[in-house]
Structure 1
Amino acid sequence: MAAPLKLKRQQTAQKPKSKLIADLFPVAAVLVDTPVSHLEGVYDYLVPLHLEDSAVYGTKVVVPFGNTQVDGLIVGRKNDSQQIKNLKMIVDVSSPSGLISSQVIEHLELVRNRFGGSFWSLLKSALPARVAKEDKMISDIRSPSASETYESPQLRDLIGRSDYGMLIGKQRLKWAINLPIGIASSNFVNEIIKLRARTGQVLVIVPDEKDLLALKNDLKNFFGTSFLELGTHLGKSDRYKNFLIARFSRPSLIVSTRSGVFTDLEENSTVVVLSDLDQSHYEQHSPGWNTRDVSLLRSKNTSLLFISASHSMEISRLIEIGWLEKKNYRNKNGIQIVTGENGRSFVSSVKKGIAQGNVLVTVAEKGYANLFLCAKCRNTANCKCGGKLQIQGANSVPTCYLCDTQQRDWKCQYCGESKPYVISKGIDRNAEEIGRAIPKASILISSGSKQIADLPNGKHVVLATAGSEPNGRYSSLVLLDGERMFSRPSLRAEEFAKFQWFSSLCKVLPNSEVFVTLQNHHPVVQSMLKADSNSGASLELINREKAKLPPFYRVAVIIGSNLEISKFAENLRSSKDYEITGPVKFDQNQSKLIIRVKLEEGGNLVDLLDDVSKIQGVKGRQIFKIRVDPYDI
């Protein structure tokens, strides 16, 4: 593990004397945000007399460092210093006093030890930009009260009296909950939140603003002033103001996107992570972190509820070893699963559904004809530059996806035939075919930058790509492109496809028909028939372990110049502790290296990469770009 924060120089020196220095604990230990990563550390500074009361533990300050002024965080106050040279004076405070609690600092240290990088990069993720005018509201902040008597008979009937009793009890919970099929997911999650709030604070981490809005209205009406919203989607002023409320008040419920995962909570609180497999839970900046692992690193008295339509392999491993308790609640929903075997078409499912309400059709890709062949000889249609040709719309000409060249008079370069045969339909082509089969149906498309957040009034056939499904309930569900989704060249292809399909399945009404474009014997179809998304996880985990892949191995992806990456790879190959893949060139000047190490040795890998970055900084070399435990390899 990375070493704890400590002083850079440790030699005894006399305490400087000055009438301008604070009388009580005149020396502050300050974690300095230096422009050079290898100099990050704790340095001693004198506390001016006029800042004696405000420059306390957890306060951001401005301090001189070298020939410039930088940010710092006070992590201690004391009577004297062991640093040998004359101490410099803190210039000013740059945050409210005690803005960062000791619990948050300790939590950030644990996260830094797991993912590497600098403490300040994590602190900047946890702390929104200051809006000084909002600081004056701190004195007016009061802790709101919440209901301690709420009951939910419907939820009790679904989950049983035993689990219901534990949910409203004081004991620590460590649950992995599958969203039940046939019940509105937002209602189910909201009921769990309301009940758990009886026992203490609840922090809910959602993937994105769309998920937040799906929960917000009901919860805000219920909790009133005890409801708080956090996240980068808020304006700068509102984000900082709400952060102050979360820090200096104790709202019963905080709902946030990824950045709120570090929020300071009272003792015996509950953290709920919704859909941990969603990519939005992963921080994009190096070295990267994810809300699942950050939540797992909270204090041992914090309850953890992971709620998802289908859990990640990391959560499945924790269930398998008994660290998390699996909760799968079934109800009599009357949902019928049918497959495309024996040439059955999905159109009948669409017609049946549109007669009763809305229909959701999920597809793998946007666009029209993303890949087509010659109708005669079945050779792929390619451009002269080597790129594949695509058809953007019903009346569009074939266009190269690489050079954007249009081929108005396209003919097969092998046999001369001019008729295309589409084998990779996009969402637009599917919408066109459904429109022909059901001429009077209202067809909506939700994809890419043109997403529909909520179902409009009326009856509609909604076509959506992964993650673009409008919130609402559907009378029929069609899951297209199964083979394409489950066969993508990605580590998480099957995992993510199952998550998307079960997420859609949780949107259907009772007694609905669900059409699946996979064979009945496919593992995910069997899981759907059992109404258990975690079914078959044990076999998947065995295969992952044999292949030396996450969640049994930790992974680091390192990007750097071709020469430096090659040298680094050669040095690592002498160690038997690491599985090395690469280097692989991905442009003219840079290469990528993938390092895998057993789970229990992950800390050593993180320390190694931190040391390499510091050495590169000392020698003035370009520092590697490092991603630890990325979403995908």
Structure 2
Amino acid sequence: MSDAPGPEQPALLGLEDVGAGAPAARRAKPALGAQEIAATDPVARCVLDLQPAHLDREYDYLVPAAMADDAVPGARVRVRFGPQEVGGYVVARAAASEHAGRLVPLRRVVSPDPVLAPEVLALARRVAERYAGTLADVLRLAVPPRHARVEKEVLAALADAPPAGPAAALGGGADRGAGAPTGAHTDEWAPYRGGDAFCRHVLAGEGPRAVWTALPGLAPGPGPEPATLPHWAAAIAQAVRAALAGGRRALVVVPDARDADRVCAALEAAGVDGTVRLLADDGPAPRYRAFLRARHGLAPVVVGTRAAMFAPVPELGLVVLWGDGEDTLAEPHAPYPHVREVLALRSEAEGAAYLLGSPGRTVQAQALLASGWAREIAAPRDVLRARAPRVRALTSVELAHEGPGAAARLPTAAWRAARDALERGPVLVQVPRTGYLPVVACGRCRTAARCAHCHGPLGLPRTASAPQCTWCGRLAGGWRCAECGDTRLRAVRVGSDRTAEELGRAFPGTPVRTSASTAPGGVLDRVDDRPALVVATPGAEPVAAGGYAAALLLDAAVTTSGTGLAVATEALHRWLAAAGLVRPAGAGGQVLLVGDGAPAPTGALVRYDAPWLADRELAERRELALPPAVRVAAVTGDRPAVEALVGRVDLATGDALLGPVELPAREPALEPPVRVVVRVPLAQGTQLARELRASLAVRSARREGGTVRVQLDPKEML
């Protein structure tokens, strides 16, 4: 490894002058101008927004007297770093510096508002260490860009009305949750083993940690009105109420904005006031307003999507994550942290309670239970049977008596069940893909149709249209099969738009609504209780007032196909999320899984037993030494760069090193990238991250060529 020296920092004062109380004996270069230095703690320790890994450390700067009151820990500053001016944050003030050279002064304080909270800085350091990233990369995720007008507005509001304690957010008694003792055990947690104990520990100011498998169904509505809120949202609201009653604040992270709206509605129904939404989709100004309100204690509860995992919530008593199996909870930017792991680190550091809930269960959540780090909250089987709909798997074996009709995408048994259910209310139809015909193949030899330019899969965006590449968007009007020369196309995958069209013909006179990102109306939030067919993709299912009469889960074989380790648990998660919106079996609700899906997730759905599948998958991964039973790092990029980086990692030897394996080239003329996987026992996971981080620093200092990406715990291997 190379011990590359840090960049030189010219200064106005020598080190012997800083902290000694002596006047400046030496002057800075005339270009910097003479400035009076702060009399108290004249050194500001700063973290800077620098990309190179070898520059990932703190730097000392002098604080001019004019900035002495504004350059507080947490404030944004601009400083000179070599020939450029960069941004950063003050993390501490000191009386002296350990830097052996001369220090330069801060250029300016962007804002005296300390937006970087100490606990967030500590969390960012731990995340950077765990994922072999830099502190600057993590802080870009943690602190949103400044919005001056919003900052002025929030600081004015703070001056007019100082923040109240968390308990002041508990509203009065007209709401559903007010009938129970404030913040204590409430009706939504009564059916669970361990639910009452978890709420009592949160109320007492303790930090219990739990993995929660939520019951299906909707929470009872006020009075005679039909239920429109999922049970899980109401339960989260009551757990938050317990934290507030105990004098602490709460943070809730959900996969998307619709789930955030549902949690906010449940909190309002539970009598919790002052909740703020921290969503990137809301735009820069609303996001920064919510961030500042949380930072200054003006928000007792923060509800948000992925970026909210770093929300600066003082007096944090409870962190909640819902639906940890969703793809949106994995950060796509370096160093690629997952919300589940970040909130676990935060719970440990701040002593906050940790609640991980989902309709299913991921293998990572099961590993938390197996290690003893968290406890299980689940309902007894008799309670689950009373709350769940009836589930049937319409496989080819089950439908063998129907003859050729058993191979239909909508077999007769499913058609009859949907027709009967439509007499009682809406019917949900879940399909795994959006679009019309997202994947097509040759009509004669069934070879997948590929784009002639980028080799991406071809699809049909609408009926009677030319095939179009789903990667580059180019039309392929003159397509001809490269294997047999045929020009006909057949459907391989059917999307939500084509499904809605087919159902409209199969059920004439019945309204058909589509909820998907590509649908004309977008993703629907809710539908009424009138009979209708609602076609939705996974995660886009709207809530039906009073619950759906039935649900058809189509294309089970497509949902469970794939090479990822988490295919089975992800499929079960999608199915259970849809089944949770259906009425109980006692009210006639039923779920039909159509197709020959993989046996394990199919059996788990029929039994409504997500913990069994997660435990089975975890046992298999332990036997095969796969994550989360081990720690894995994937190093991807140009072959020389990957080999040089991995070569400096001491743990990357013997059986721990897998690869290199060539990946598809970005362009045919380019050398294909390679991937190397480093696999170590969990006990060596921290050491692996440190060695990779050190190797990245050496690569940066030496300015090694090529491109390389390091990702610990990559999703495709989880």
TM-score (norm 2): 0.79
Q: Which residue of 1 aligns with 2:82?
A: 66
- What is the Cα deviation at residue 177 of structure 1? 0.8
Q: Which residue of 2 aligns with 1:443?
A: 512
Q: Which residue of 1 aligns with 2:209?
A: 174
Q: Is 2:176 the counterpart of 1:102?
A: no
Change (3 A) 1:115 1:379: closer
Which residue, 474, 484, 493 being the options, matches 2:558? 484
Distance 1:379 1:27 in 2: 70
Q: Which residue of 2 aligns with 1:539?
A: 616
Distance 2:684 2:74 in 1: 32
Distance 2:461 2:148 in 1: 50
Q: Which residue of 2 aligns with 1:460?
A: 532
Change (3 A) 1:477 1:167: farther
Q: Is 2:355 the counterpart of 1:271?
A: no
Q: Which residue of 1 aligns with 2:429?
A: 361
- What is the Cα deviation at residue 288 of structure 1? 0.9
Residues 410-449 of structure 1: matches in 2 within 5 Å? 422-449=491-518
Which residue, 81, 96, 102 being the options, matches 1:86? 102
- What is the Cα deviation at residue 110 of structure 1? 0.8
Q: Which residue of 1 aligns with 2:221?
A: none
Which residue, 182, 189, 201 being the options, matches 1:149? 182
Identify the range of structure 1 (97-106 vs 482-491) with the bigger mean alpha-carbon deviation. Answer: 97-106
Which residue, 95, 99, 111 being the options, matches 2:127? 111
Q: Tell me the amino acid that sits aligned with residue 191 of structure 1.
A: Q
- What is the Cα deviation at residue 284 of structure 1? 1.0
Distance 2:469 2:43 in 1: 66
Conserved in 2, the CA contact under 8 Å of 1:565 and 1:583? no
Conserved in 2, the CA contact under 8 Å of 1:561 and 1:591? yes
Distance 1:90 1:384 in 2: 55
SS in 1 for 2:335: coil
Which residue, 589, 597, 614 being the options, matches 2:671? 589
Q: Which residue of 2 aligns with 1:262?
A: 310
Which residue, 63, 66, 71 being the options, matches 1:55? 71
- What is the Cα deviation at residue 334 of structure 1? 5.9
Q: Which residue of 2 aligns with 1:565?
A: 642
Identify the range of structure 1 (195-204 vs 27-36) with the bigger mean alpha-carbon deviation. Answer: 27-36
Conserved in 2, the CA contact under 8 Å of 1:372 and 1:390? yes
Distance 1:484 1:195 in 2: 42
- What is the Cα deviation at residue 392 of structure 1? 4.7
Which residue, 348, 352, 363 being the options, matches 2:416? 348
Distance 1:616 1:570 in 2: 11
Identify the range of structure 1 (61-70 vs 448-457) with the bigger mean alpha-carbon deviation. Answer: 448-457
Distance 1:589 1:562 in 2: 9
Conserved in 2, the CA contact under 8 Å of 1:569 and 1:583? no
Which residue, 541, 548, 573 being the options, matches 1:469? 541
Q: Tell me the amino acid that sits aligned with residue 310 of structure 1.
A: G
Q: Which residue of 2 aligns with 1:523?
A: 600
- What is the Cα deviation at residue 294 of structure 1? 0.6
Change (3 A) 1:36 1:13: farther
Q: Which residue of 2 aligns with 1:290?
A: 338
What CA deviation, in whole Å up to 9, does each residue of 1:31-78 have, x standing for no partner? 233353322322222111122222222222222221222223222222
Change (3 A) 1:441 1:188: farther
Identify the range of structure 1 (15-24 vs 535-544) with the bigger mean alpha-carbon deviation. Answer: 15-24
Q: Which residue of 1 aligns with 2:30?
A: none
Which residue, 264, 270, 274 being the options, matches 1:226? 274
- What is the Cα deviation at residue 371 of structure 1? 5.2
Q: Tell me the amino acid that sits aligned with residue 87 of structure 2.
A: D
Conserved in 2, the CA contact under 8 Å of 1:380 and 1:388? no
Conserved in 1, the CA contact under 8 Å of 2:297 and 2:313? no
Q: Which residue of 1 aligns with 2:222?
A: none
- What is the Cα deviation at residue 171 of structure 1? 2.7
Q: Is 2:238 the counterpart of 1:191?
A: yes
Change (3 A) 1:437 1:107: same
Q: Which residue of 2 aligns with 1:28?
A: 44
Change (3 A) 1:554 1:592: farther
Change (3 A) 1:309 1:289: same
What CA deviation, in whole Å up to 9, does each residue of 1:121-141 have, x standing for no partner? 111211111122323424235
- What is the Cα deviation at residue 582 of structure 1? 2.4
Structure 2, gaps ≥5 residues long: 25-34, 171-180, 219-229, 400-405
Distance 2:82 2:459 in 1: 57
Residues 120-135 of structure 1: matches in 2 within 5 Å? 120-133=136-149, 134-135=151-152
Distance 2:120 2:628 in 1: 26
What CA deviation, in whole Å up to 9, does each residue of 1:533-581 have, x standing for no partner? 2123222112112333211222323332233235556776972362323
Identify the range of structure 1 (484-493 vs 159-168) with the bigger mean alpha-carbon deviation. Answer: 159-168
Conserved in 1, the CA contact under 8 Å of 2:435 and 2:497? yes
Q: Is 2:381 the counterpart of 1:333?
A: no
Distance 2:716 2:527 in 1: 35
Residues 292-311 of structure 1: matches in 2 within 5 Å? 292-298=340-346, 299=349, 301-311=351-361
Identify the range of structure 1 (231-240 vs 273-282) with the bigger mean alpha-carbon deviation. Answer: 231-240
- What is the Cα deviation at residue 452 of structure 1? 2.5
Q: Which residue of 1 aligns with 2:710?
A: 626
Identity %: 23
- What is the Cα deviation at residue 230 of structure 1? 1.3
- What is the Cα deviation at residue 518 of structure 1? 5.1
Conserved in 2, the CA contact under 8 Å of 1:442 and 1:461? yes
Distance 2:426 2:283 in 1: 35
Distance 1:384 1:98 in 2: 52
- What is the Cα deviation at residue 517 of structure 1? 2.3
SS in 1 for 2:504: helix
Conserved in 2, the CA contact under 8 Å of 1:382 and 1:389? yes
- What is the Cα deviation at residue 606 of structure 1? 1.9
Distance 1:229 1:387 in 2: 38
Conserved in 1, the CA contact under 8 Å of 2:434 and 2:518? no
Distance 1:388 1:254 in 2: 41
Change (3 A) 1:520 1:22: closer
